Each structure stands twice: as structure tokens, then as C-alpha cells.
């Protein structure tokens, strides 16, 4: 394949314990326990470039939101051999606190964002505390500063970051949420981010409870399935199962190789 990339999931934080109603808008009444929530950033490597997907959060944000930060994702990247100053392109799937922190630590990067997400995070919906809660005003303000510094590329729907790396607005969880399709040796892999926190959100067609538009979320699942072309080629945003079924990629940091086949299949 001409434009085959490697993809790595780097886990930097966890949240536990959780109950089923925290993971599904309509939980199975027979479930009494729920999976933990893992937090990842993703590194796309190939064709002479490294593209980061999302930037995580820092210790201050972890303390404010009672999350267990294992390692700041910027430091995790450093241990994985990628200095923050060397990153030239960062895809921000959406501006929630756990995907858009640390924006001030990438001094040479351009940020790739859906224009609807910027409008949503700075518009009238942020007057509502429930919709505003997943955002950090510091993160959003930093992104505005990057806009004024001419460091943001905006997209309206679909867009190409590099040959074989494309973004696709699906909305749902946040109005401007975008997923990332990456060409790999095993075919197209879709980093779904929070279009599906868990495999089961998509498989059961049951949304994660933080949702802006359920209709957009449901259509987003169809988009993910179409782009991936196979149930084993979409990657949920927070599912610990990812760390169980993909090969470990480092002994220095929690990283897994998503361009390699998983150890078990979701195909029926």
C-alpha cells in the first residue's frame, strides 16, 4: 500500500470505578459492573511524518476532575521518542478537556479542527452548564490564541491532513467531533475518538451519556462503519479492551500498535 502508516495508542490516565449508567445512555439492566475509562492520545507515523491525534490533559485538570493521571501525555510522547517541539501536525478531534489540554506545549505544531467545534465551544451552547461541563475555558481560550496566531487549519466536514490520513465530521458527542481515517497495511483504521467511547457503544447502538445530538451520533456510527469497512478496524476512544487485544509497542510507556491485527475479532 502506497500510503501505509503506523498508529500507536498511548494511554496516559484512567478513571475507576464506574457504573453502567456512566457508560451507556440506556444501560443493560442486567449489568452490575462497568469497564474503567482509559484515556489515550494517538500517534500516526509514516511517510516521513508524525501526526498526533489529541493532546490529553495535565495534572491540574486531573486533580480538578478526580481522574488518575499516570503520565502527562506530552511526557509519554517523549518517552516514546517524540519531542513536543518536533510535532508539526495535531488533529484535535474535539475540544473537550481530555482531548485538548496541553495545547501550549507544542510550539511548532499546526492544529486541525472542525470549524463547527470552534463555533460550538465559543457559542451560545456554552451558556448551559451541562453542555459546558466537558470543556475547559483555559483550553478553549488557548485554541483561540492559536487561531489568532494563524496556527489552526479549519475543516468543514471531510478533509485531508496528509495522503492517507483524512478527517470526517460526525458530531453527536460534541457538535464538531471528527474521526480520523488512517491507511495502514491492514486496511483503513478509523480512530473514532468519542464517537464511541467503548466498542459496545457502537455495537449496542447505545450512546455514551455525554451527548449533544443523538441523531448525529447514530449517523456517525454508520459513517465509522463505512469508513473502516470491517468491525476490527475502528478504534474506540476510551475502551480498556484496546490494551488487551493489540500488541504492546513499548516497555517505557503504555503504548499499543493499532496498525497490527488485534488478537481477537469482532466480526460475526
Q: What is the pLDDT of residue 65?
A: 96
**Under a CB-based contact definition with an 8 Å cutoff, are residues 232 and 267 in contact?**
yes
Half-sphere exposure of 247 (CA within 13 A, CB side): 7
Beta strands (DSSP E) in the chain are 6-15, 37-46, 49-53, 68-69, 89-91, 110-114, 152-155, 158-162, 165-169, 178-184, 187-193, 234-236, 255-257
Which residues in the chain come in under a pLDDT of 50? none
| Sign for the pseudo-dihedral over CA of 58, 9, 110, 174 | negative
Residue located via cell numbers 500516526: 44
Q: What is the pLDDT of residue 1?
A: 53
Task: Determine the length of the chain.
Answer: 268
- Candidates 34, 25, 19; CA nearest to 241 is 34
User: What's the CA gap between 160 and 73, in Å, rounded?
Assistant: 25
Peptide bond preceding 210: is omega within 30 degrees of 0, i.e. cis? Answer: no
Bridge partners (DSSP) listed for residue 160:
166
Q: What is the pLDDT of residue 53?
A: 99
User: What's the CA gap between 216 and 195, in Å, rounded?
Assistant: 10
| Sign for the pseudo-dihedral over CA of 197, 207, 202, 174 | negative
Q: What is the pLDDT of residue 28?
A: 83
Query: What are the φ and ψ backbone dihedral angles of 107, each rounded to 5 degrees?
Result: -70, -20
- Candidates 100, 178, 107, 160; CA nearest to 135 is 100
Amino acid at each position: 500500500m502506497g500510503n501505509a502508516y503506523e498508529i500507536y495508542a498511548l494511554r496516559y490516565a484512567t478513571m475507576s470505578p464506574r457504573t453502567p449508567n456512566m457508560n451507556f445512555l440506556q444501560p443493560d439492566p442486567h449489568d452490575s459492573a462497568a469497564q474503567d475509562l482509559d484515556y489515550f492520545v494517538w500517534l500516526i507515523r509514516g511517510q516521513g511524518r508524525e501526526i498526533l491525534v489529541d493532546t490529553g490533559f495535565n495534572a491540574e485538570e486531573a486533580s480538578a476532575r478526580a481522574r488518575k493521571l499516570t503520565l502527562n501525555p506530552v511526557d509519554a510522547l517523549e518517552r516514546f521518542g517524540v519531542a513536543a517541539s518536533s510535532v508539526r501536525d495535531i488533529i484535535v478531534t474535539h475540544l473537550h478537556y481530555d482531548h485538548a489540554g496541553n495545547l501550549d506545549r507544542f510550539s511548532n505544531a499546526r492544529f486541525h479542527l472542525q470549524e463547527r467545534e470552534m463555533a460550538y465551544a465559543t457559542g451560545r451552547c456554552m451558556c448551559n452548564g451541562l453542555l459546558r461541563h466537558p470543556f475547559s475555558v483555559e483550553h478553549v481560550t488557548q485554541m483561540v490564541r492559536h487561531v489568532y496566531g494563524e496556527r489552526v487549519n479549519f475543516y468543514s466536514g471531510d478533509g485531508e491532513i496528509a495522503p492517507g490520513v483524512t478527517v470526517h465530521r460526525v458530531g453527536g458527542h460534541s457538535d464538531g467531533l471528527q474521526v480520523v481515517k488512517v491507511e495502514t497495511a491492514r486496511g483503513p483504521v478509523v480512530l473514532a475518538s468519542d464517537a464511541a467511547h467503548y466498542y459496545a457503544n457502537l455495537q449496542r447502538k447505545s450512546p455514551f451519556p455525554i451527548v449533544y445530538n443523538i441523531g448525529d451520533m447514530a449517523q456517525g456510527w454508520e459513517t465509522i462503519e463505512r469508513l473502516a469497512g470491517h468491525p476490527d478496524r475502528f478504534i474506540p476512544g476510551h475502551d480498556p479492551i484496546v490494551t488487551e487485544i493489540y500488541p504492546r509497542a513499548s516497555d517505557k510507556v503504555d503504548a499499543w500498535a493499532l496498525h497490527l491485527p488485534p488478537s481477537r475479532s469482532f466480526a460475526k
